[in-house]
Structure 1
């Protein structure tokens, strides 16, 4: 009788298979010269296509252990509490705030682009008392300004974007961690757009929580996000009065899943992105083989080459530039959307406009990791020159 009922229910399909799903997948070839994701090199694509294994297999744990060591190298930290989130950089962003801040606690957010805005909203959603320091995109905060704000608001956490990709800004970090320690405040830093492209030293710069993403200078596909907590952050995180608002991002569970809590057995928490971890491990292996110093120097060299070419085209650049993402002021009289559409149509190159508060102010070019080559800079410059020549310029 049960089988009869099952057969009857299975025969009641009324929505036919969609025609689009009966066609083969087609993905165009694009040069991803925007702020991310970047083009993924064949070696990392091949790693991600390896046969799936179980997320709780001993071999998977070994791969996760390798990823942890790779992140420690990339971050320049010895922190034991170092993992990769199952998700994009936003997952690490939320994990950092959810685990170290409790409802009602004061947090201070440095906002000079979209990422500070996002962290402020995340902190408000979980009930924190959010204080904002705001500057226009491309401007930076002095250590004196930061210390004055910390004295005033007495936050448990200060957020700063090291790589503010919406404005192409690489923010100075030296000394800020010392100020935070002086005032018993945790220092949270976003390096999604800068890791592997610009120097960052988690331990030496007294950064308490650092996170990044897989899809920019690391060149892995989007979907995994390195994050690390030092002992100060762990003490705050594991001695809270309330549970974090997110179960998925609760570090009491994730620390066990990643073998960071010292317990002999890892207990099931969630199914990690196995193929994504394969690709992330390979990207970190490439970074280790190449060496951080060489990666930083290569990004600096190619960025300088791009800057010269942009200035030769008469384009205006911002100061304190990220070597991975370059922002240019929208050329006077041009429609930036028309220019970007023209470049995509005629050159198959992705460049982007601003993001958040920088929309309508800038266009952005990203040459990161695998894409960080002078030949790619030449392609970008040629495409921009062509757009400047062929796109309509207003008479105003």
Structure 2
């Protein structure tokens, strides 16, 4: 037999991941992944590592929720696990102000759709029980918006993204939680981009019943390791009472492998599905690094370095429309307006991994995940300025670097 489709060995180049995520994985996490021994997912050390991850996740989330663990996969795996409690016919209000909260809203329409609604349009069901509040791109979801919608619709579930990566906007999590409490709705929150970047404790938001994040942003682990989730007892009680149309992403069943059974921590996890010892080792190290750094310090560092980047791109003539501290979303200067995709493609061809927005309007996204040093920010700024100059921007890069040096020197002098 002739085998003709054996391709050359795949060599993936090093790139500077300067977009919304995944970020550049810490070398210590990569080392733990590569050096993990070969052990099956029921090995005592792997199970111990999963239990330790569970406890560290509670510290990271700032919670006493027993049902706090990781879902194998990316952020979408964690979100699917969180949405698994939503059943056909459930009433839902979802807030969409960008690409990813829009996909979350689609997922909720799929979950809540009746059999007839799915049959009519299975890829884009129009579930009568789901109300999607569309907030224009570049604007945040406010507490007033949430209050108005929940007062009117009185849904069983309410959904919002904490940080919307598509538009770079931070939404009002306190206002969302307060409205959920007031109107007896169970809040569901996409914390994919905020966990590990902003300093917050989820137990302070009593109206939120469930949270889902991802491994490859604030936690700075590898994609396809573990997406952090956390569920209140109220959420678990509803899940028990109503069930879920999933085995793989069933929160109660998933939790068993992490040593959570009947609402209590047990000595050793039981089988739910196959896990990777390599992924456990990497996730464990990423959590250790995040907690050792200190969430308050890390959040402050993101604010500080994002401001340096913001000042630099504004001085280049760009208009920044985001307010996240790990990501800038911007419009190019007037003489380059409309050439955003061209600029992004040119940068990516040079292994400088910035991103466009994935929905209209087309903007440029520059991220600083795990790039919290002066040298890293300087590198990002210079690469961006050089790319703009190749398109005719005429930026004085020497002046940009001088201002950047002044910014960092002032901070050093103030210490």
- TM-score of the pair, normalised by structure 2: 0.85
Corresponding residue for residue 81 of structure 2: 95
Q: Residue 93 of structure 2 contacts residue 130 of structure 2 at CA under 8 Å; is this kept in 1?
A: yes
Q: Residue 352 of structure 1 contacts residue 364 of structure 1 at CA under 8 Å; is this kept in 2?
A: yes
Q: Residue 86 of structure 2 contacts residue 112 of structure 2 at CA under 8 Å; is this kept in 1?
A: no
- Deviation at 1:392? 5.8
Corresponding residue for residue 70 of structure 1: 56
1:84 to 70, 77, 81: 70
Corresponding residue for residue 286 of structure 2: 283
- Deviation at 1:374? 2.5
Corresponding residue for residue 34 of structure 1: 19
Q: Residue 367 of structure 1 contacts residue 373 of structure 1 at CA under 8 Å; is this kept in 2?
A: no
Q: Secondary structure at the match of 1:208?
A: strand
Corresponding residue for residue 410 of structure 2: none
State the alpha-carbon separation in 2 of the partners of residues 217 and 256 from structure 1. 26
* Alignment root-mean-square deviation, CA: 1.8
State the alpha-carbon separation in 1 of the partners of residues 310 and 5 from structure 2. 48
Structure 2 residue 260 is matched with structure 1 residue 256: no
Structure 2 residue 344 is matched with structure 1 residue 340: yes
Q: Secondary structure at the match of 2:325?
A: coil
- Deviation at 1:25? 3.1
2:32 to 31, 42, 47: 47
Alignment of 1:288-307 (within 5 A): 288-307=291-310
Q: Secondary structure at the match of 1:239?
A: helix
Deviates more, 1:66-75 or 1:81-90: 66-75
- Deviation at 1:143? 1.6
- Deviation at 1:65? 1.0
1:237 to 222, 236, 239: 239
Q: Residue 83 of structure 1 contacts residue 258 of structure 1 at CA under 8 Å; is this kept in 2?
A: yes
Q: Residue 236 of structure 2 contacts residue 252 of structure 2 at CA under 8 Å; is this kept in 1?
A: no
State the alpha-carbon separation in 2 of the partners of residues 266 and 304 from structure 1. 44
Q: Residue 65 of structure 2 contacts residue 230 of structure 2 at CA under 8 Å; is this kept in 1?
A: yes
Q: Secondary structure at the match of 1:53?
A: coil
Corresponding residue for residue 383 of structure 1: 383
- Deviation at 1:338? 1.7
Structure 2 residue 115 is matched with structure 1 residue 114: no
Q: Residue 330 of structure 1 contacts residue 361 of structure 1 at CA under 8 Å; is this kept in 2?
A: no
Corresponding residue for residue 5 of structure 2: 18
Corresponding residue for residue 149 of structure 1: 149
- TM-score of the pair, normalised by structure 1: 0.89
Query: What's the CA shift string for 1:238-261, capped at 9, x where partnerless?
Result: 111xx3122211123112222212
- Deviation at 1:138? 2.0
Structure 2 residue 171 is matched with structure 1 residue 171: yes
- Deviation at 1:121? 1.3
Change (3 A) 1:265 1:372: closer
- Deviation at 1:305? 0.7
State the alpha-carbon separation in 2 of the partners of residues 336 and 136 from structure 1. 20
Q: Secondary structure at the match of 1:188?
A: strand
State the alpha-carbon separation in 2 of the partners of residues 265 and 225 from structure 1. 21
Deviates more, 1:119-128 or 1:284-293: 119-128
Q: Residue 208 of structure 1 contacts residue 233 of structure 1 at CA under 8 Å; is this kept in 2?
A: yes
Deviates more, 1:294-303 or 1:128-137: 128-137
Gaps of at least 5 residues in structure 1 are: 1-12
State the alpha-carbon separation in 1 of the partners of residues 294 and 346 from structure 2. 37
Q: Secondary structure at the match of 1:237?
A: helix
Structure 2 residue 382 is matched with structure 1 residue 352: no
- Deviation at 1:17? 4.8
Corresponding residue for residue 219 of structure 1: 220
State the alpha-carbon separation in 1 of the partners of residues 284 and 184 from structure 2. 35
- Deviation at 1:265? 6.3
State the alpha-carbon separation in 1 of the partners of residues 327 and 280 from structure 2. 25
